[in-house]
Structure 1
C-alpha cells in the first residue's frame, strides 16, 4: 500500500531523519547564475529548476549543453505551483528544498532533488517530504541527463528472489551465498533485505556498523534514486540494503521498493532479494525474474517448502527449489530426484551441509568467505542454472574456503 501522503507535507525538523534543525547547505554560496532563457523560436522547456546553488546550476547547465532538449526554466519557489503539473520534470536543488516543501504541493512523478556528495544527509532528509528522487552530482550525471530528456538507461541486471521454505531453512544465508559467489566471479552484486522480521541481513555480513543507506533512509524514495554505488553498507564485495533494528525505523512502501530496485538493477550486475514468506512482504517475490525456495533437509521441511512453492504458483510465479543436504532427511544422500518427487517442483540445486555457516553467522563473517569450497561452488552453480549473470569478459571463477 502506498503510504505517501496525497499532499507533500511541510517537513518539520525532528519529524524526518536528519538533523534536528535546518543546516546551512554546503557548497558555493555565490549569487545564483540563472540558466539561459530560450529565445524566440527555441523549443519551450519541458522541465523547471528551482534553487540557487551555483555549483548545482552549473551541473545542470553542463548536462543540458550535451542534449537536444532545451534547458529547464529557472523559477523561484513562489512560481513553482503554476508549473507543478504542467511540466515533465521538476529539478529542486537542496538549498531550495525547505521552501518547496512548505508549499504543500500534491504528489507527482518526475521530481528530482539535486545535491553534491556532501549533501547526502540533507538529500535523504528532504526526499520524503518532497516525494523526490535523489540525484547526487557529479556521480549521477547520467540520471540527471535522463531526467532532462536524455537516452534511456541500459538493460538492467537480473533479479533473483530467495524465500525460506520453512523455519531454519537457511534462506538468508543462501541469498548471501549467491551474492558472494557473484562477487567472487568479479561481478557487482547487491543483496536486498525484504524481511522486516529477520533482524537485518547486514548482521550476516558483519556490516551492521558500516556507513551507508539503509531502508530507513530509502523508505520514501519515490520516482528514482540514482546510482547506489558507494552509498550502501556491505562486506566482501557485496553491497546490502538492509532493514533496521531500531524502533521507529521506517519500512519501504511499494513505490519505494520499485524505485530502489530500479536503481539497483541500473547500478549492479546482479540483484538478490531476501524475501519474507509472510504477507504482505511475500508480494515482492513478483518483482524478481526468478524465485528460489530454500528447503531444509528434513521431510517436514521439504513438505513446508512445497507449501510455500504452491503459494508462489498461485500468484503466477514459477519457483524452483534449492534443497540443503544433511540431517536425517532424504537430502542426506543428495537424491535430487527424490526431492523433486517430494516437493513436486523443479530442483535447481543441492546445497551441501556446512557446519561452518552457523558459526560464521554468529560472528558476522560473510558466509562465502568461511564456507567450504563445495558450498560456495554450489551457490555458483545455482547462478549458472538460472543464467543470472551476464558475461563480463574472460574471468576465472574463484572459489572460497577449503575443500
Structure 2
C-alpha cells in the first residue's frame, strides 16, 4: 500500500493499521514506480499533482484503488481526483474510518508479489535478448510462470528466440492499449508461448514504430497480477517506454561482454541507470580476449555481479532452429537461474 508523506501521513497510517495494510512512502521523483506496483494509492494534494503531471506527460495508465486525502475538500483536490482517476477524496481526520474501509478493500501487499526484471545490453551484441529469453524459460523450472515482453520494436523478436514466432496469438500490433486495467488472465492466455508456462509479447516481425508507454505499463501491470515473473527485453535507447520500464522494474540487469570496450560502455549505461532504477545488477558474458575476469568487469562497470557465463557451444545453431531450449548445467541455464533467483530474492 503506497501512501504520500506530508502532514496527513499520521492519519493515513492509522487508517492503514486499522485495515491491516502495509504502508510504503512514495518517491515523488519516480511516480511511476509506486503507481504500477502498489495495491492501493493514497495521495495528498502534492503527490496527486505530481501524478497528474506524469499522466499528462503520457506515462501513467489509469488504475483502480486511488484515493486523495486532504484537510478539506476544495476545488483543487476535486480537480486532482478527476485527473488521476481517484475514487474518493477523504477529509482527515474525520474520515479515518472511511479511509480504513477503502484500504481494507484493496489486495494486501504480502511481499510475494510478482517480480519485474528488465534486461538491457551494456553495448551492442552483448546478448541481452538471449539472456532475457533464458530467464523467462528458466522460470517454469523453479515453479514460476513467466511473461516475456519484447520492448524493442527494432529488434529481432523474442518470439523468434523462443521458437513461437509461428504460433497464433496477439502481438504488439494487435494491442490498442492506452492504459487502464488490462484483464490479466485474458491477455496472457491470448499470447503465444509454451504450454501456459511462458507467454510472449513481441512485435511479431511487423514494423511497430514504437512501444506505447501506457501500453507497456498496462502489460507489466497485467503481468504482476497473473504470472510469477515478467521479463522485459529493453532496447539500448532512452525512449519514453524504456524510461518508464526502468522506473517500475524491480531489478534491471545489464549484460556486458568481458572486454575493455564492453566495460567502458557498460559503465556509461550504469551511470544512466543510477537515478532511475530501483536495483541494478550485472551479468558478464565471456570469453575475455584480454583475460579479464568477471570480478574485473564488475569493478570496472561499478555494478554488483549477478552472474557470469562462458560461451555456450552451438547456441546460434539452436536459436536459428527450434528456438531456445535450456539444458541443465549449460552456461546460459546457470546464468539465467542465478539471475532469476536474485530477482526473486529482491537482491541485486
3-state SS in 2 of match to 1:245: coil
Cα distance in structure 1, aligned partners of 2:290 and 2:223? 38
Cα distance in structure 1, aligned partners of 2:211 and 2:242? 14
Query: 2:127 — aligned with what?
Result: 170
Cα distance in structure 1, aligned partners of 2:278 and 2:308? 21
Query: 1:261 — aligned with what?
Result: 220
Paired residues for 1:4-403 under 5 Å: 151-153=105-107, 156-226=113-183, 227=185, 228-235=187-194, 237-247=197-207, 249=208, 251-280=210-239, 281-283=241-243, 284-315=245-276, 317-331=278-292, 335-368=293-326, 373-388=330-345
Deviations 1:107-143 (A, max 9, x none): x9579xxxxxxxxxxxxxxxxxxxxxxxxxxxxxxxx
Cα distance in structure 2, aligned partners of 1:361 and 1:297? 22
Deviations 1:238-281 (A, max 9, x none): 2111123224x474422211211111111100111111120204
Q: Flag the 1:246–1:385 CA change in 2: closer, same or farther, 3 A.
A: closer
Q: Flag the 1:195–1:260 CA change in 2: closer, same or farther, 3 A.
A: same
Cα distance in structure 1, aligned partners of 2:263 and 2:283? 10
Q: Flag the 1:342–1:221 CA change in 2: closer, same or farther, 3 A.
A: same
3-state SS in 2 of match to 1:159: strand
Aligned-CA RMSD value: 2.7
Q: 1:157, CA displacement in angstroms? A: 0.6
Cα distance in structure 1, aligned partners of 2:301 and 2:63? 45
Which of the pair is proportionally richer in helix? 2
Q: Which structure exhibits the higher relative contact order, with contacts defined as CA atoms closer than 8 Å and separated by 6 or more residues?
A: 2
Whether the 8 Å CA contact 1:176–1:367 is kept in 2: the answer is: no
Q: 1:374, CA displacement in angstroms? A: 3.7
Between Structure 1 and Structure 2, whose CA radius of gyration is higher?
1
Cα distance in structure 1, aligned partners of 2:174 and 2:105? 28
Cα distance in structure 1, aligned partners of 2:246 and 2:62? 25
Cα distance in structure 2, aligned partners of 1:374 and 1:110? 41
Cα distance in structure 2, aligned partners of 1:265 and 1:222? 15
What is the TM-score with the length of structure 2 in the denominator? Answer: 0.62
Cα distance in structure 2, aligned partners of 1:365 and 1:199? 13
Cα distance in structure 2, aligned partners of 1:178 and 1:154? 27
Which stretch shows the higher mean deviation, 250-259 or 237-246?
250-259
Whether the 8 Å CA contact 2:148–2:230 is kept in 1: the answer is: yes
Q: 1:330, CA displacement in angstroms? A: 3.6
* Structure 2, unaligned runs of 5 or more: 1-60, 65-102
Cα distance in structure 2, aligned partners of 1:327 and 1:109? 47
Q: Figure out how many residues of one structure are paired with residues of the other and give that number.
A: 240
Query: 1:99 — aligned with what?
Result: none
3-state SS in 1 of match to 2:139: helix
